[in-house]
Structure 1
Amino acid sequence: MTAPLTASDSTPANAVADDAAHTRRTPWWLWPHVLSLEAPVVAVLWQMALAHAHGIRLTPMLNAGLALACWVIYVLDRTLDTLGVKDAAKLDVRHVFYHRHRHVLLLGVVPLAMVVLGWMAFGVIPEGVLWQAVGLALLVALYLAGWSAENSRMMRDVFVSCAGLGGLLLISRLPLESGHRFVLSLFVLGAMVVSFLRQLDVRMGLLLPKELAAALLFAMGCTTSTRFLSMPETLAEPVLECVLLALLFACNLQMISRHEAGLKDDPKSPMLMLGTLLFISAVLESTRAGVLGHAMLFPGRAALGGLLLLGVVHAGRRRVSSEAYRVLADLALILPLPLVWL
């Protein structure tokens, strides 16, 4: 056993622990994860694969906008997780970085990135994609308020207020029929109710776990451009495609969270993977039978490949560290994407 850290009378004990956490060695292969670069890469590659499957040609700005937006959300998510943390030594390697640089990120980097996103949104992004992205941004704000900003009441109130005001403005300006506006209003209202209930410490995790909420938002972001530009005749296929990706991403996130929590034999991950396998199989069979459009075959193949690789990673969970497990689980999402081009 190692001797406990000691501090002089002029140095608080938590400051010593904070310094010890900041000096942890980070292997080179983990830096993309620490800098939150893995999520933008996964999002952009899936967006490009879906565009190819639907025969759509995306402008470079759509990929750049998705990458930057995804990076900002992950930086906010991980930085907000560290607010209120007194003992930095208990943080994992990625949260140590955001705890150390939280002031620079929240007051400098994130606002600058938001300005760039605003210029891209109103200057170069197609209007139809813009409205969908704004609606998704409101849901992301509620997600950050409900799950990531739990340690800061002020940040929770800021995100919920921004989402509520933004939702009212968005709904009033959306070029949709009144019925669609009503449905969207109910959806936003329901999301805000969930967020407010969480602020009142109601246990909403059983209703909508954080991993599932994050996976759904991530899938909606990956499919935003193709959902608009492919101009589907019905909403069935875009919804199924989004659910397909959401289930795959949920498997990834739940596996990682359970592994990091030390629950390596938790039965929830295999059950979710089995349910995802059944859903993917149903989508592929419906596509082969002609019930769904042929374009659904390609993301279905890639999702199936990703799920199988996640199964391989999960099977070897006892042989790798939490950091390596996370990296391998993320790689499993993108390695099968060449199947879309076959």
Structure 2
Amino acid sequence: MATALADGSQTTDSRLIRSLEVPNCLSLDAPLVAVTWQWLLASVYSNSPSTDGVSRAMDRSQLAAMAVLCVTVWLIYMADRLLDCRRLNFTRDVPWRHRFANRHSRILWPIWFGMLALDGGLTLRMLDRQLRIAGAGLMGIVLLYCVAVHGSRWLRGGVPKEFVVGTVFAAGVCLPIALTEFSLSLVLTACVMAALFSLNCLCVAKVQSGSDRQQQVGSAILMFPWLASRLPLFSGTLAILATALGCWGLIPAAIAGATTLGAAGLLGIGWTIDRERGWIDAASCSALADYVLLSPLLVLLLANWL
């Protein structure tokens, strides 16, 4: 976290950065990101005759899908973290969120099983049959990923998990909309979202590459070292691509704007990590990389304001 400078002081805003990392330690940031993007998708693709505007109303089924998505994403991320703790060597470099999970695992596991029961009840009572079946299929992919990463030493170091996580995350967010309003626009939207989420994961992996190397944890950054120096380039390219797709009408303008804002934020974070600026340490960028994905909130606020 905050590192000491030559004069003995700490990097500025270290307390603020610590507070920003609390949601990450509790695995609350990923569900929040998922819900904000699904909220934007539902507002754009539903209850509106055009995919260019943002609707202010959502029906009960959309709210139910958002509730289930929020709990499900929390379950996946928290389980992944708690399972990681079983094989990490805590005498070496370990991310703070994993140290937190390991320290409080006796509390977190009972909470996890309680949330699992809640998620099952919400799914059975609030989702329609088609969405339950599609969600079960996607959950099967998540379980295969967990087996590959946590159950097989042979596969553990050879799975580019950042791309898998980014793609599955985007699929989960888009799933309720895809079942009712599948279109080329939605496919392109899912692709740019998958690229944005994957870039986020790559930024986090770049920050903790030293820890991953010590712990022998596989990541795309360690598998393809050339990726690390090109993250700002890829982020900038995605921002330009999303803007172009929005201008051409191939994806909704609101989606293009949120993606461009998120990619621009990741560009700045990637640039900061590369240059190790004195006003913030590289490790703190891991938390900030998640917050830039809340760009749909800004788009929705602007849409309501305008």
Q: TM-score, normalised by structure 2?
A: 0.74
Letter in 1 for 2:42: A
Aligned residues: 257
- Give yes or no for contact 2:207–2:283 (8 Å, CA) kept in 1: no
Q: 2:191 aligns with which of 227, 238, 243?
A: 243
Distance 1:268 1:48, change over 3 A: same
Q: Residue 252 of structure 2 aligns with which residue?
A: 296
User: Is 1:219 aligned to residue 178 of structure 2?
Assistant: no
- Give yes or no for contact 2:238–2:260 (8 Å, CA) kept in 1: no
Structure 1, 108-117 or 67-76: larger mean CA deviation: 108-117
Q: 1:257 aligns with which of 205, 220, 231?
A: 205
Q: Residue 124 of structure 2 aligns with which residue?
A: 122
Letter in 2 for 1:112: G
Distance 1:88 1:124 in 2: 45
Tell me the alpha carbon deviations over residues 159-187 of structure 1, each in whole angstroms, 9 at most, x when there is no partner.
xxxxxxxxxxxxxxxxxxxxxxxxxxxxx
Identity percentage of aligned residues: 25
Distance 1:79 1:50, change over 3 A: same
Q: TM-score, normalised by structure 1?
A: 0.67
- Give yes or no for contact 1:36–1:75 (8 Å, CA) kept in 2: yes
Distance 2:39 2:141 in 1: 23
Letter in 1 for 2:227: K
Cα distance, 1:269 vs structure 2: 4.1
Q: Residue 201 of structure 1 aligns with which residue?
A: 154
Q: Residue 171 of structure 1 aligns with which residue?
A: none
- Give yes or no for contact 1:260–1:322 (8 Å, CA) kept in 2: no
Specify which structure has the bigger relative contact order, considering alpha-carbon pairs within 8 angstroms and separated by 6 or more residues.
Answer: 2
Distance 1:237 1:204, change over 3 A: farther
Cα distance, 1:331 vs structure 2: 1.5
For the residue of structure 2 that corresponds to 1:335, the secondary structure is: helix
Letter in 2 for 1:213: V
Q: What are the within-5 Å matches in structure 2 for residues 94-133 of structure 1?
A: 94-106=97-109, 108-133=110-135
Distance 1:241 1:58, change over 3 A: farther
Cα distance, 1:239 vs structure 2: 2.4
Tell me the alpha carbon deviations over residues 199-252 of structure 1, each in whole angstroms, 9 at most, x when there is no partner.
3715873xx5111111111111111222223x23x4x33322211111101111
Distance 1:218 1:202 in 2: 21
Q: What are the within-5 Å matches in structure 2 for residues 58-73 of structure 1?
A: 58-59=59-60, 60-73=63-76
Distance 1:237 1:250 in 2: 20
Whichever of the two has the greater Rg, that structure is 1
Distance 1:334 1:200, change over 3 A: closer
Q: Residue 170 of structure 1 aligns with which residue?
A: none
Letter in 2 for 1:334: L
Q: Residue 213 of structure 2 aligns with which residue?
A: none
Distance 2:155 2:119 in 1: 34
Cα distance, 1:69 vs structure 2: 0.6
Q: Which runs of 5+ in 1 are unaligned?
A: 1-25, 150-155, 157-198
Cα distance, 1:58 vs structure 2: 4.5
RMSD: 2.7
Q: Residue 52 of structure 1 aligns with which residue?
A: 43
Cα distance, 1:109 vs structure 2: 2.0
